[in-house]
């Protein structure tokens, strides 16, 4: 049998001691990725699992297993889709049929929820989504 080679791409080197030191210092997954030059979260997960297996000790890395649901993207039609989880802020309760006013400028999208009060007036709650890394 012949060995298969990976096409293109860069595979990061596993450095157990440096990874262990970063985890014990409380570094987040993004900081560890940058420091070690790990390209993806999946690769970092594999490195952490390998370290856990080697040391027989559980390591918790902040931000490693959190899916990033707060970054909406524009699809090929030019639409921005927001899910309920993206709008889920502590202390808020959104339900089906809620309506929003949307104000847009170059840096921000401000969504104001329109809420009917028992007296018939409208009250507004604000949720702001700011682009990251642009």
pTM of the full structure: 0.48
What are the residue ranges spanned by the domains of the chain? Answer: 84-114
Both structure tokens of 72: 């909406």
- What percentage of the chain has pLDDT greater than the value 70? 70
Distance in angstroms (rounded) separating the CA atoms of residues 33 and 17: 15
Q: Which residue has the tokens 């009917």?
A: 116
Place of tokens 């990725």: 33
Rounded to an integer, what distance in angstroms lies between the CA atom of residue 33 and that of residue 45?
Answer: 10
Q: Is the pLDDT of residue 83 over 90?
A: no
What integer pLDDT is reported at residue 131 of this predicted model? Answer: 52
d(C-alpha 44, C-alpha 32), whole Å:
8
Q: Of 52-56, 98-102, 112-116, where does mean pLDDT reach its minimum?
A: 112-116
> 30-39, 47-56, 73-82, 83-92 — which is least confidently predicted?
83-92
Residues constituting the chain: 134
| DSSP helix, strand, coil percent of the chain (3-state; round to 5) | 25, 20, 60
């Amino acid at each position: 049998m012949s060995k298969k080679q990976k096409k293109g791409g860069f595979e990061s080197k596993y450095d157990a001691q440096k990874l262990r030191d970063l985890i014990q210092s409380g570094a987040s997954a993004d900081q560890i990725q940058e420091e070690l030059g790990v390209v993806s979260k999946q690769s970092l997960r594999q490195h952490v699992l390998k370290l856990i297996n080697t040391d027989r000790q559980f390591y918790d890395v902040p931000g490693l297993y959190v899916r990033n649901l707060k970054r909406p993207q524009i699809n090929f039609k030019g639409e921005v889709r927001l899910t309920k989880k993206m709008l889920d802020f502590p202390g808020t309760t959104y339900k089906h049929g809620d309506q929003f006013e949307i104000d847009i400028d170059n840096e921000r999208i401000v969504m104001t929820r329109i809420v009917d009060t028992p007296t018939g007036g409208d009250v507004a709650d604000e949720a702001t989504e700011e682009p990251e890394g642009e």
